[in-house]
Amino acid sequence: MKYETIMGLEVHVELATKSKLFCACSTEFGSDVNENVCPVCAGMPGTSPMVNRKAIELAITAGLLTNSEISPRITFDKKNYFYPDLPAGYQLTQLFAPICKNGWVEIETDAGKKKINLVQIHLEEDAGKLIHDDWMDTTLIDFNRASVPLIEIVTRPDFRSAEEVVAFLEKLRSLLSFADVSDCKMQEGSMRCDINLSVREKGSDKLGTRTEIKNMNSLKAIAAAISYESQRHIDALETGEEVLVQETRRWDDSIGATFSMRGKEDATDYRYCPDPDIMPVFIDDEWIDAVRSNLPETAQDKFIRLTQKLGLPEYDSEIITRSKNLSTIFDETLQYYNNPKEVANWIIVELLSIAKGDNKGEDDVRIDCQKFAKLIELVDGRTINRNVGKKILSLILEEGIDPVEYVEKNKLGMINDTSLISSTIQEVLSENPKALEEYKAGSKKVHGFFVGQIMRKLGGKANPQIINKLLTEALKEI
Amino acid sequence: MPNIEDYEAMTKISLSEDEKTIVSGYMNMLLDSFKKLEDTDVSGVVPLISVLDVKSPMRDDVAIKTISREELLSNAPEQHDGYFQVPRTVD
Amino acid sequence: MGIFIEDYNVSGADTVALEDSIMQKGKQVTAGSKILDNFVSPFNATVVDRLLDGGFKISGRTVMDEFGLLKLSHDDNNTPSGAVRAVSEGISAYALCNDLFGRYREEAPQYDCCYIHPTYGTVSRYGLIPLASSLDQIGIVCRDLSQGFGLLSHLAGKDPKDGAMFPDSKYCYGKTDEKITLGIPRSVIEKADADTRESIMDFINKFSSTDIDLEYFDLYSQVMYILSSAEISNNLSRYDGIKFGYRASGYTDIDDLYTKTRSEGFGLDAKLTAIMGAVVLSKDHYGPYYEKAMKIRRLIKESINFDTYDVIVLPCKISDDPYENLALYSLAPLAGLPSVSFSYKGYGIQLVAGVKKENLLLSTWEVSMA
């Protein structure tokens, strides 16, 4: 490979606070348009920004998780420009005194481990949302998202491949979601990534022309955009047909290409200046220590605990620790029924497959863990069989039934009565002479057919192990 | 002298010819008077942003509704279905 | 020009007129600008809540210069402001204003009134349509300073809605028996006209005094203009015809909407200030203008230490040029100091004291009136 691609990232992460950064409006996702707006975040004059303490704490948390230096005194600055989603005509951000500096994140790819260095992390407020209506030739503005707290994580240009970028974003998501800093959902916009990219000949120490790419809404889109854009740079360098210009480009996922945004952002003079209404926020060691001691278990530590302390296989632990939501379900359910292997198995095999059927991913599935635990106990304790258990799981998810009550009411207890099972076996064998002939002829799969029929006659409630044992014995005697 | 058209664009203000003459006149006068700052030695001086030497108060993270959407939109020059409305804006 | 935009036809010794830059819930608030046409405020300024709690009544909303901006042009047709007229003509006992550039401090004595400009950070600015956030302070036009301080004691004090304030929850203003020494900046007073100088000398003779040198006086106007125009320019950016206020018609696209709205909605002073503010903050000028002005501001603040003097005496006018005159009114906001102005033997006098030393101002005035 003659060329290498060099990249740095600017990642915006929405903090998981209940209220906005500078006012008490709710940050709840999915609220009705313009319901969470007040004079402050609507840009009315005569209002005062009031700093949200939790937002600072979550930024401190992000700093601790990324091994950053945390500034003891932070201030906020105005970044001035006009755009309809910006109510005050300026965005409050941190240019002069960002909250964190010089952190790093370790990633692992097929090539091994690598340290990605961060320039800084700073707090800033989000802008409103624009909806473009080409039919009416109009743009509609919803200010619900205006002033929602964000942290912007700026990396050094340490990335050399799309694989590294994806690994970093996944690691970041794991760190921040497990610490409840943010749910980091790219599809919902709570994590957004802009990439600064340039290409140069391997061995050269000069940096090529840099372009910024925006508007990638998934990891897949990021990989595709990196691939496209680095090739575009290489083509330009090789053929000279296109001249590379330092600019911002927008990724269009439907077309699979980047398009110039006409350098609009580079031309703007933002006239940064300190905001004199917001006094400095002081962060002392006491506060940092308090945040550090309250840090939830990281995905990495959880993986170690699950495999080493609880003896779960690595495969299971990996799946569970991939999602904060699944980890939480696992931990909570375990509190009610302490069988890690069974709980893990039910989550990974049954819960996730039902969720998939409902088009819910590992981050969205929700369940009453106490009921879930009861169900697992019922199956593990052989009160009901697994098939019945699966059906009840669906009912817990859909209707929130209590499994113990439901089993009692509907008499779903597992049938262990060997004489009843034996007589049912005899019934089935005599009713299916053709199948019996096939069995005698050597077909093994007929066994399964018989089991199915027996189970059906017993209302699906029979103990499968007992059926198998008695059926095998019965067939031997034939 | 800074190019006045650049600053018109920056501040989204378009001056009439007469206004431009007056504003340029004042700009010249003011920038000329600002030259006086050049001779002042400020080495080692920290910029003063606020005369107050106080810490920022901070809010608890509780969501509170201050005004209704109706109140908010009652001042809107143009609205549609609960949204503020402007001409189609290019990204 | 009338006094009131809205006259509530209320009279009495406890009436307060509000400059149209102070938010009143349910009322139209325009700050003297077309760009806030039809804006109805959804909330009260804290000072409004406090004056109502204190048993005062609002007499009306007064006419004002657009946003209270400095008028750099000579105004030959010198009509007094709505706030000063309301008090001087006996229509209202008091008026609340934001006297950033000294218009009210200069005018009040001319119409037999007084003005109180409190220490920065003692009166909540929540609900004040701002000019420059680090310099603004709501003040009082009154007939008599001790009455004015009586009203101020109801208004001043920490407000949870304004983060840029001292922690004191209450302020009591009253005479002090302390011996007061005046600080006399002779080189400044020399710039006033002969009659004013005479009146000031007469005033000074009632006190012990010492000569002082206002070291950076020749830079006060520049520093004040640079810092205030930058902050005002940013504070004016929210007026865009989208969320509230005036919106132009006949625009072709979003950019045109912004430009037409702001060009039609702002007066010349607002346009000039917006542009000058952008100049001093722009990439090439930030260092030599804005940052340098912030540094000189610190030097100014530190140069006034009230060590050998308690109260500085200043004239109310040293020039017909508003920009030159601005220097007189800049010290108080730049250093966050309290100041009063009043008429002494027919001529305006300004006093400036140290942070939260309003009592010295009141006492000095009382001695002089005796």
> Which CATH architecture best describes the domain A418-476?
Orthogonal Bundle (1.10)
CB of C166 within 8 Å of any CB in chain A? Answer: no
How far is the alpha carbon of B76 from chain C, nearest alpha carbon, in Å? 5
Q: Which residues of B touch A17 (CB under 8 A)?
A: 61
- What residues does each domain of chain C span? 4-215+301-369, 217-299
Res. C1 pLDDT band, cuts 50 70 90: low
Q: Do A276 and C283 touch (CB under 8 A)?
A: no
Q: Which residues of B touch A52 (CB under 8 A)?
A: 58-59, 61
Predicted confidence at residue A233, as pLDDT, reads 95
CB of B83 within 8 Å of any CB in chain A? Answer: yes
CB of A80 within 8 Å of any CB in chain C? Answer: yes
Q: Do C271 and B49 touch (CB under 8 A)?
A: no
Residues 6+ apart with CB under 8 A from A365: A325, A326, A329, A351, A352, A355
Asked if residue C76 has pLDDT above 70, the reply is no
Interface test mutation site (partner C, options A92, A139, A144, A277, max chain C beta carbons within 10 A): A277
Q: CATH 1.10.10.410 occupies which residues in chain A? A: 418-476
Q: Do C292 and B40 touch (CB under 8 A)?
A: yes
Q: Which residues of C touch A132 (CB under 8 A)?
A: none
CB of C40 within 8 Å of any CB in chain A? Answer: no
- Please report the residues numbered 42 through 61 in chain A whose beta carbons come closer than 8 angstroms to any beta carbon of chain C: 42-51
Is A214 strand, coil or helix? strand
Question: For chain B, what is the HEC assignment?
Answer: CCCHHHHHHHHCCCCCHHHHHHHHHHHHHHHHHHHHHHHCCCCCCCCCCCCCCCCCCEECCCCCCCCCHHHHHCCCCCEECCEEEEECCCC
**Fold of the CATH domain C4-215+301-369:** Amidase signature (AS) enzymes (3.90.1300)
Q: Do C292 and B37 touch (CB under 8 A)?
A: yes
Classify residue A136 as exposed, middle or buried by CB count within 10 Å of its CB (0-12, 13-18, 19+): exposed
- What is the interface pTM, i.e. ipTM, of the complex? 0.96
pLDDT, tens only, C218-240:
999 999 999 999 999 999 999 99
Q: Do A132 and B67 touch (CB under 8 A)?
A: no
Is A419 strand, coil or helix? helix
Mean per-residue pLDDT pooled into runs of 10, chain A (478 residues): 93 98 95 97 96 98 98 97 97 97 96 97 97 92 98 97 97 96 92 96 90 94 96 92 88 94 72 95 97 94 95 95 94 96 95 89 91 94 89 92 90 86 90 89 88 89 89 85
Nearest residue to C127 (alpha-carbon basis) of C206, C22, C232, C26: C22
Neighbours of chain C (3+ CB pairs under 8 A): A, B
Residues 6+ apart with CB under 8 A from A287: A57, A60
* DSSP string over A373-391: HHHHHHHHTTSS-HHHHHH
CB of B72 within 8 Å of any CB in chain A? Answer: yes
How far is the alpha carbon of A277 from chain C, nearest alpha carbon, in Å? 6
- Report the residue from A37, A133, A279 with minimal CB separation from B50: A279
- Chain pair A-C, CB pairs under 8 angstroms: 88
Predicted confidence at residue A33, as pLDDT, reads 97
Mean pLDDT of the residues in chain C: 95
CB of C254 within 8 Å of any CB in chain A? Answer: yes
Predicted confidence at residue A304, as pLDDT, reads 96
pLDDT, tens only, C88-102:
999 999 999 999 999
Locate the chain A residue with the closest alpha carbon to B86.
Answer: A139
pLDDT, average across residues C171-194: 94
Interface test mutation site (partner C, options B12, B41, B91, max chain C beta carbons within 10 A): B12
pTM (two decimals): 0.91
Interface test mutation site (partner B, options C246, C257, C261, C275, max chain B beta carbons within 10 A): C275
Predicted confidence at residue A263, as pLDDT, reads 54
CB of A458 within 8 Å of any CB in chain C? Answer: no
Angle CA A75–A154–A184, to nearest 5 = 95
Predicted confidence at residue A389, as pLDDT, reads 92
Q: Residue A477's CB: how many other CB atoms inside 10 A?
A: 5
- Please report the residues numbered 28 through 47 in chain B whose beta carbons come closer than 8 angstroms to any beta carbon of chain A: none
